[in-house]
């Protein structure tokens, strides 16, 4: 005979507790109701014969106790679901991988019982389903519940304790990320190593992408799949980025990508908000499966935050509201102080006039340095020492390297055979981004020679012409010729070069990322020193992050606007995060799952739940009756 | 002359005020006393007088009996006719006439106060009614209350006007203490040298037994008159299941499981007890009446009159 219900260990524990409880109740002295009589000797005469039967009466109570213990034993035995004809099978070990990716926030669970509809989201329906499985878990079967999002998070141990499993179900939470099922399966297979009757159950909508799994190990494990969700009508903002124009940073341009992951065309309304104010609204027709980009050039007005919203023009809600919005933050603008040390250079003056956010202070070499601190100092054809207030330095045509962190070589000149120019350019460096320097002609120049902490950005065959490096914690850039000895000032590249250099000095370059992607590990640069930073989540909650090499590290899993600071009173650095995943926005549930050449079977083996629930109710009923009997008879409440 | 007329305005004013304050001896009760007193005269007219003759022999004029002559007897009472016929000296005995003393011994133990004091209230009414009839017959009436000892005593009195004193006395009686009839009777006979009718009004719930107490009266030449106050509720206790019985007088506790069988047996035992009391009194030719509290007290009084023994 085997117990298909609760295990013998659980039943023995429960039986011990219940038996102890019943015995203690019986050990309690019988509380008799006091009754006054006028003449007790009359009773004495009557009870003279009764005395001889008191032992029998006591035995009757013992019989009652034994009866109750027998009832308890029988009920516990029944809870064990004994089956005489069941072949002995080892305990199942089940790892349930619950998809907690962004698509599990879809609200397409209209079918099924009312309780399932009340949960609204796919994850809610998954929790209900998982709760039923836990309730129907076999006697010795054990289960481990793991949440799969950007990471794999085991929420319980491999246990048969339903309380622990129910608590794990309660902790399940969906996030705005793609689920990493590669690691999830690796974890599940590791957890099932050496276990009897191993089984992996995937509870998901099936949008798990291509999964790299060890087919050999998976073959030894039973793979089951339970689909959650029914529809896939969804439009999403799958990309939003913004950047300021390099030459006019009060203006910016925005790129929005809208996707329709449904299998039919949709007409959507795309709205763009700047700092909460509606900036643009447009109706778009998107074909099934199409990704549609929309470019908004030359925008102005918003100071900080942009938000793109997409909705169906019909007014209906799609099945996944969480990807209908995306956020982006514009880079912060601040007025930079520039000290120009020059004997006069009209081309340079003109280039600096282009950026209205520059506060330029000119000074002749013999009056250098000016009072105050500067973000950038430009030495134009002068060689002067730097001070603590100099800031980053741009050397233009340095006459000598006496006060510079590099060496200045001999003068080189163009001749008939060779015109000096930029024969080699590190085009990925930010100071030469968007520049065409290859056809610049230079009459004469000085070759520059840097050190280990510098990098040659532009070279001619006769020597380095453009150098960038870092010295004493400050950046510097050196151009080895006077621009008036070249045709560079006649090109658009010249003012862009000046703007690029200053932006690079101020970290305001065009590499700025207007929003991060959820599901990735963010390494967020922090201003200031300290080992810990405080991250304000979109929900308003705060989290303390460790800071490593000037960067706070965090696995972002929720879309929205975050704030990062080094503590109370410190400036808060804002940034936005979006799911921005067309794969995760494709929420049409998959009917079957195939992994490593193995097709997942339907979930089975949790059928005992309803039976055991009835037994549980029966147990409660019997306990109630026993308690009533005890109160009524033993404690004489009603008699 | 009725009770109210007898006491005129004083009795009517104060009596009414007190009657209002105490339901036990209200105006209705006093009317019944008048009625009982009148009925008692009619029933026993011709044979009943305002005097009562005792069995005491001596200076009376009515022949009672003979006895053998003993040295020292008064020669004047020798029956010479009998000597002539029988050749034996016999002395003639005469009944001596004197006032009858009626003593009411009211049990005021805790058992009489059981269940809202129904028995004690009934006993008080019986006592008052019989006392009034006695006073109306010019007898000397005295009342004592007792539990394990004599509790209170009202001096012998006669004349109907004293009935309100009796009311007052009875109003002050409250149930308390254990029952010890023998001790009470011994104390009673020691204190009352004048013999007479001793009306015992009690439920006779004495753990030591009532018999000795009654016999004490008999042996001391009192005429015991037993009014056994019973309550039907005593035979049908409201007890079921496992209960803790305790005696309302002694506090004696007893754990018992009461079933229908037990209740039936208790009822039988109770009935046997009542019969044993009646048998005891009958065998000793004592006047015995069972006074059921559910029975109107005037019916009981009339039954007492008809049986005789209380008034002669």
- Do both B93 and B37 map to the same domain? no
Closest CA to A446 of A488, A395, A501, A500: A395
What span, in angstroms and rounded, lies between the C-alpha atoms of A108 and A77? 43
Question: Among B247, B252, B271, B276, which would you mutate to test the A interface (most chain A Cβ atoms within 10 Å of its Cβ)?
Answer: B247
Residue of A nearest to B263 (CA): A46
The answer, yes or no, to whether residue A497 has pLDDT greater than 90, is yes
Examine the fold and report which residue of B82, B98, B114 is the final residue of a domain before the chain moves on: B98
The answer to whether A60 faces chain B, any CB pair under 8 Å, is no
What span, in angstroms and rounded, lies between the C-alpha atoms of A94 and A142? 6
- Do both B234 and B285 map to the same domain? yes
Q: Is residue B105 part of a domain?
A: yes
pLDDT band (50, 70, 90) for residue A98:
very high
Task: Compute CA distances A23 → A88, A585, A630, whole Å.
Answer: 35, 61, 12
Q: Which of B115, B205, B255 sits opposite A32 (nearest CB)?
A: B255
Residue of A nearest to B271 (CA): A42
Q: Which of B115, B252, B256 sits opposite A47 (nearest CB)?
A: B256
The answer, yes or no, to whether residue A476 has pLDDT greater than 50, is yes
The answer to whether A45 faces chain B, any CB pair under 8 Å, is yes
The answer to whether B244 faces chain A, any CB pair under 8 Å, is yes
- Do both B27 and B67 map to the same domain? no
The answer, yes or no, to whether residue A638 has pLDDT greater than 90, is no
pLDDT tens for each residue of B271-309: 999 999 999 999 988 889 899 999 888 888 877 777 765
Residues of B in contact with A42 (CB under 8 A): 266, 269-270, 273
Q: Is residue B133 part of a domain?
A: yes
pLDDT tens for each residue of A135-155: 888 767 889 999 999 889 999
Q: What is the pLDDT of residue B53?
A: 45
At B215, is the secondary structure helix, strand, or coil?
A: helix
Examine the fold and report which residue of B36, B64, B98 is the final residue of a domain before the chain moves on: B98
pLDDT tens for each residue of A284-317: 999 988 889 999 888 877 667 889 999 999 888 8
Q: What is the CATH number of the domain that holds B264?
A: 3.40.50.410
Closest CA to B234 of A259, A42, A617, A429: A42
The answer to whether B241 faces chain A, any CB pair under 8 Å, is yes
- A46 backbone dihedrals φ, ψ, rounded to 5°: -65, -40
* Partners of A178 in the β-ladder: none
- Do both B175 and B279 map to the same domain? yes
DSSP H or E segment with residue A394: strand A392-396
Q: What is the pLDDT of residue B124?
A: 92
Instruction: Check A33 against B243: CB less than 8 A apart.
Output: yes
* Partners of A538 in the β-ladder: none
Q: How many CB contacts within 8 angstroms connect chain A with chain B?
A: 82
For chain B, the domain total comes to 2
- Percent helix / strand / coil, chain A, rounded to 5: 30, 30, 40
The answer, yes or no, to whether residue A99 has pLDDT greater than 60, is yes
Residues of A in contact with B114 (CB under 8 A): 36, 38
Query: E strands, A48-154, where?
Result: 82-83, 93-99, 142-148, 152-154
Q: Which residues are within 8 A (CB) of A24 and not within 5 positions of it... i.e. 6 or more apart?
A: none
Burial per residue of A590-625, b for 16 or more beta-carbon CB atoms within 10 angstroms, e otherwise? eeebebeeeebeebebbebeeebeebeeebeebbee
Q: Which of A30, A39, A43 sits opposite B254 (nearest CB)?
A: A43
pLDDT band (50, 70, 90) for residue A241:
confident
Q: Which residue has the tokens 């020679």?
A: A449
Instruction: Check A34 against B269: CB less than 8 A apart.
Output: no
Tokens of A13: 């524990």
Closest CA to B229 of B287, B293, B281: B293
Instruction: Check B248 against A44: CB less than 8 A apart.
Output: no
Instruction: Check A47 against B238: CB less than 8 A apart.
Output: no
Residues of A in contact with B242 (CB under 8 A): 30, 32-33, 636, 639
Q: Which domains does chain A have, with CATH numbers?
A: 2-81+615-634 (no CATH), 93-230+589-607 (3.40.50.410), 336-505 (3.40.50.880)
Tokens of A188: 């599940």
Q: What is the pLDDT of residue A635?
A: 66
Residues of A in contact with B238 (CB under 8 A): 35
Q: Which of B111, B255, B269 sits opposite A38 (nearest CB)?
A: B111
Q: Is residue B236 part of a domain?
A: yes
Q: How many CB atoms are closer than 10 A to CB A141? A: 21
- Do both B190 and B84 map to the same domain? no
Q: What is the pLDDT of residue A421?
A: 94
Q: Which residue has the tokens 């006592």?
A: B127
- Do both B27 and B71 map to the same domain? no
The answer, yes or no, to whether residue B55 has pLDDT greater than 50, is no
pLDDT tens for each residue of A247-264: 677 788 889 999 998 888
Mean pLDDT of chain B: 80
Q: What is the pLDDT of residue B48?
A: 35
Instruction: Check B257 against A57: CB less than 8 A apart.
Output: yes
The answer, yes or no, to whether residue A63 has pLDDT greater than 80, is no
The answer to whether B202 faces chain A, any CB pair under 8 Å, is no
**Of B105 and A119, which is predicted with more confidence?**
B105
- Do both B188 and B128 map to the same domain? yes
- Do both B73 and B214 map to the same domain? no
The answer to whether A57 faces chain B, any CB pair under 8 Å, is yes
What average pLDDT does range A261-274 have in this prediction?
90
The answer to whether A47 faces chain B, any CB pair under 8 Å, is yes
A157: exposed, middle or buried (C-beta count within 10 Å: 0-12, 13-18, 19+)? middle
- Do both B144 and B86 map to the same domain? no
Q: Is residue B312 part of a domain?
A: no
- Do both B163 and B187 map to the same domain? yes
Tokens of A577: 């995060």
pLDDT band (50, 70, 90) for residue A117:
low
Its domain, for residue B86, covers 55-98
Question: Among A26, A35, A632, which would you mutate to test the B interface (most chain B Cβ atoms within 10 Å of its Cβ)?
Answer: A35
Closest CA to A435 of A485, A500, A376: A500
Residues of A in contact with B118 (CB under 8 A): none
Residue of A nearest to B206 (CA): A39
The answer, yes or no, to whether residue B8 has pLDDT greater than 90, is no
What average pLDDT does range A611-617 have in this prediction?
57
What span, in angstroms and rounded, lies between the C-alpha atoms of B285 and B295? 24
- Do both B108 and B85 map to the same domain? no
- Do both B183 and B91 map to the same domain? no
Instruction: Tell me the torsion sign for CA atoms A186, A191, A196, A202.
Output: negative
Q: Is residue B127 part of a domain?
A: yes
Q: What is the pLDDT of residue A397?
A: 94
């Amino acid at each position: 005979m085997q117990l298909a219900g609760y295990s013998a260990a659980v039943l023995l524990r429960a039986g011990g507790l219940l038996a102890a409880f019943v015995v203690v109740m019986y050990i309690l002295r019988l509380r008799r109701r006091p009754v006054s009589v006028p003449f007790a000797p009359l009773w004495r005469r009557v009870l003279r014969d009764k005395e001889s039967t008191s032992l029998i009466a006591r035995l009757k109570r013992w019989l009652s106790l034994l009866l109750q213990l027998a009832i308890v034993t029988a009920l516990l035995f029944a809870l064990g679901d004994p089956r005489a004809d069941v072949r002995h099978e080892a305990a199942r070990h089940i790892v349930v991988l619950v998809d907690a990716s962004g698509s599990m926030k879809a609200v397409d669970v209209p079918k099924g019982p009312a309780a399932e509809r009340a949960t609204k989201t796919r994850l809610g329906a998954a929790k209900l389903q998982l709760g039923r499985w836990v309730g129907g878990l076999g006697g010795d079967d054990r289960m481990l519940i793991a949440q799969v999002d950007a990471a794999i998070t085991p929420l319980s141990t491999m246990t048969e304790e339903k309380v622990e499993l129910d608590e794990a179900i309660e902790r399940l939470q969906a996030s705005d990320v793609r689920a990493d099922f590669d690691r999830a399966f690796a974890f599940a297979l590791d957890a099932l190593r050496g276990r009897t009757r191993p089984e992996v159950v995937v509870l998901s909508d099936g949008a798990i992408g291509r999964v790299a799994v060890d087919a050999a190990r998976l073959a030894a494990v039973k793979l089951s799949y339970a689909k959650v969700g029914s529809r896939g009508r969804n439009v999403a903002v799958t990309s939003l980025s913004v950047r300021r124009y390099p030459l006019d940073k009060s203006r910016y341009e925005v790129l929005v990508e809208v996707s329709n992951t449904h299998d039919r065309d949709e007409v959507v309304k795309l709205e763009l908000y700047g700092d909460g104010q509606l900036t643009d609204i447009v109706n778009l027709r998107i074909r099934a499966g199409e990704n549609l980009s929309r470019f908004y050039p030359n925008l102005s007005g918003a100071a900080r935050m942009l938000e793109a919203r997409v909705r169906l023009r019909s007014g209906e809600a799609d099945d996944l509201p969480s990807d209908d919005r995306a956020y982006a933050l514009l880079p912060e603008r601040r007025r930079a102080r520039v000290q120009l040390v020059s004997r006069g250079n009209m081309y340079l003056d003109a280039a600096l006039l282009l950026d209205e956010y520059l506060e330029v202070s000119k000074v002749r070499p013999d009056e250098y340095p000016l009072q105050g601190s500067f973000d950038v100092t430009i030495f134009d054809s002068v060689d002067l020492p730097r001070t603590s207030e100099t800031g980053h330095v741009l050397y233009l045509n340095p006459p000598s390297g006496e006060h510079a962190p590099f060496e200045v070589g001999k003068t080189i000149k163009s001749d008939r055979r060779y015109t000096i120019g930029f024969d080699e350019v590190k085009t990925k460096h930010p100071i030469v981004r968007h520049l065409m320097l290859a056809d610049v002609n230079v009459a004469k120049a000085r070759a520059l020679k840097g050190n280990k902490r510098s990098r040659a950005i532009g070279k001619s065959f006769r020597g380095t012409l453009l150098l960038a490096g870092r010295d004493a914690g400050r950046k510097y850039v050196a151009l080895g010729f006077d621009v008036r000895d070249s045709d560079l000032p006649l090109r658009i590249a010249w003012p862009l070069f000046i703007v690029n250099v200053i932006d690079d000095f101020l970290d305001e370059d065009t590499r700025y990322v207007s929003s991060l992607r959820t599901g990735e590990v963010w390494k967020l640069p922090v201003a200031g020193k300290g080992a810990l930073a405080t991250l304000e989540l979109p929900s308003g909650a705060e989290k303390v992050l460790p800071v490593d090499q000037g960067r706070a590290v965090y696995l972002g899993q929720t879309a929205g606007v975050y704030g990062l600071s080094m503590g109370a009173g410190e400036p808060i650095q804002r940034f936005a995060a979006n799911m921005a995943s067309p794969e995760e926005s494709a929420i049409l549930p998959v009917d079957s799952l195939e992994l490593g050449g193995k097709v997942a079977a339907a979930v089975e083996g949790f059928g005992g739940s309803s039976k055991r629930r009835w037994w549980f109710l029966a147990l409660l009923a019997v306990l109630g009756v026993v308690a009533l009997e005890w109160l009524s008879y033993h404690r004489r409440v009603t008699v | 002359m009725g009770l109210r007329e007898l006491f005129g305005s004083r009795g009517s004013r104060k009596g009414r005020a007190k009657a209002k304050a105490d339901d036990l001896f209200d105006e209705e009760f006093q009317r019944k006393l008048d009625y009982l007193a009148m009925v008692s005269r009619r029933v026993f007219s011709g044979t009943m007088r305002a005097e009562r003759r005792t069995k005491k022999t001596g200076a009376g004029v009515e022949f009672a009996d003979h006895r053998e002559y003993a040295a020292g007897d008064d020669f004047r009472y020798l029956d010479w006719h009998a000597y002539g016929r029988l050749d034996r000296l016999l002395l003639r005995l005469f009944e001596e006439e004197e006032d009858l003393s009626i003593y009411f011994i009211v049990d005021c133990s805790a058992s009489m106060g059981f269940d809202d004091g129904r028995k004690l209230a009934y006993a008080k009414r019986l006592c008052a009614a019989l006392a009034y009839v006695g006073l109306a017959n010019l007898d000397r009436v005295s009342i004592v209350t007792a539990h394990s000892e004599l509790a209170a005593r009202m001096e012998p009195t006669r004349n109907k006007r004293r009935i309100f004193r009796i009311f007052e006395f009875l109003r002050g009686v409250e149930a308390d203490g254990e029952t010890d009839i023998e001790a009470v009777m011994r104390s009673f006979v020691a204190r009352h040298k004048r013999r007479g009718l001793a009306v015992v009004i009690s439920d006779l719930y004495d753990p030591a037994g009532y018999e000795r107490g009654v016999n004490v009266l008999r042996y001391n030449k009192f005429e015991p008159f037993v009014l056994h106050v019973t309550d039907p509720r005593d035979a049908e206790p409201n007890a079921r299941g496992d209960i803790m019985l305790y005696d309302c007088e002694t506090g004696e506790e007893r754990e018992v499981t009461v079933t229908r069988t037990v209740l039936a047996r208790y009822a039988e035992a109770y009935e046997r007890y009542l019969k044993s009391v009646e048998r005891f009194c009958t065998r000793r030719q004592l006047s015995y009446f069972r006074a059921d509290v559910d029975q109107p007290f005037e019916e009981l009084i009339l039954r007492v009159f008809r049986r005789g023994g209380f008034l002669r």
